A and B are shown apart, each in its own frame.
Chain A
Amino acid sequence: MTLINRSVAGALLFSAAFIFLTSLSAYGVDAKLIYRTYCTQCHGLDGSGKGVNTESMSVQPRDHTDPKGMSAISDAQLRKAIAKGGLSVSKSVLMPPWGATFNDEELDALVSYLRELCKCSE
């Protein structure tokens, strides 16, 4: 009985670890940490657009926690804005291009993270 219990627990633990590991490698990257490192300087610690740099900026950064505004932008446009900068989606040059900083996986993870922040979809 205990033996069975133990092996069941073992198997469960093993598959939990397996799922955890594969989900990590599927997204592979810590989008929250990336956002915190690169984006909060303008978009703010809570993503609401009130970053530490915004005082001297003539266009305010997008509020990433605003479901209305964010659901109006498609995933494709979000990705383009991040990779190629504001100008590429007819927005302000103050939103920089990050194509030289992030790979495809990281860009996808950032788009998913933005959807978490706004609690919305396209």
Chain B
Amino acid sequence: MVFIRYMTARLVLPALFCVLLTSGPAYSEGPLDEGMGLLNNKCADCHDLKGPAAATLEDFLSRKGPDLFYAGVKYRKEWLSQWLVSPKRIRPAGFRYSENIKRVSGEDDMVDLGALKPHMALSREMAKLAAATLMSFKANEELVKKNALTDAPADAFMGELNFDKFSGCLACHEIEPEYGGVSGPEVYTISERLQPDFIYSYLKSPQSFDPKTFMPDKELSENFLQILTKFMLTLEEDEEDDEGEGE
């Protein structure tokens, strides 16, 4: 599977890229200018690239994808360039869960899988360019506390107990596939996706980044912020694969 994906990336995507290069719009010179051209063309319909975040509920609900104007303080560059080549769903119920759920009489509401659409993919080269450009978006830099995490080691057991029971995060987030709530982003891929300082800072005050987000401010103590951030960083996507426990 990995091999096939690798070969596809190796063979098909460069070919696609050549096609795109010859048929695509002309970008001005300079890699970031070129990158801006790409983002404005293909991404700005759904993503806010300039800020600020939505100030009203109407504006919030009209956005079709996560804000990217502070991408450079949020994501890991390697993850961005890989994910854009083969995007996988991050929020099990889609970006705005409330638009993708349906009533099932007598039972819990369900995600309407038919309402979820796959994300557009980019060629390897385009993805690199997009990632490099996104990493230059440094809004909210002053909100992100640098080197926020202490040296105290993470205690996975206490961390999970805290995430699940004491802080009630599991209600909205999956800590492994199919385990946890579906309205928020999965957290078992967070260590690949996000910068640790961002995770800590977002957790401290989600509304500072996005005043209308439906992630509540759980008013966490410094101790809980440390425990939870470290716990999430210990999670790995493959951990729950029943075969191949050893890395």
Residues of A within 8 A of B (CB): 30, 33-34, 36-38, 40-42, 44-46, 50-58, 85, 92-94, 96-101
Contact = CB atoms under 8 A, between A and B. Distances in A.
Contacts of B167: 93
Given A97-B216, A97-B217, A42 B108 contact: no
Interface in B66-96: 93
A44 B107 CA distance: 10
Contacts of A97: 216-219
Contacts of B144: none
A56 B98 contact: no
Nearest to A94: B168
B216 A46 contact: no
Contact of A45 (B101, B179, B181): B101
B216 A92 contact: no
A41 B98 CA distance: 7
Given A40-B101, A53-B183, A94 B108 contact: no
B180 interface: yes
Contacts of A38: 214
Nearest to B109: A52
Contacts of B93: 52
A50 B216 contact: no
A56 B205 contact: no
B57 A33 contact: yes
A101 B60 CA distance: 13
A85 B217 CA distance: 10
Given A45-B101, A52-B109, 10 more contacts: A37-B60, A41-B97, A44-B108, A46-B103, A52-B93, A55-B108, A56-B170, A97-B219, A101-B207, A101-B214
Interface in B138-173: 165-168, 170-172
Contact of A51 (B109, B165, B170, B205): B109
B214 A93 contact: no
A58 B169 CA distance: 12
B172 A41 contact: yes
B61 interface: yes
A27 to B, nearest CB: 14
Contacts of B206: 100
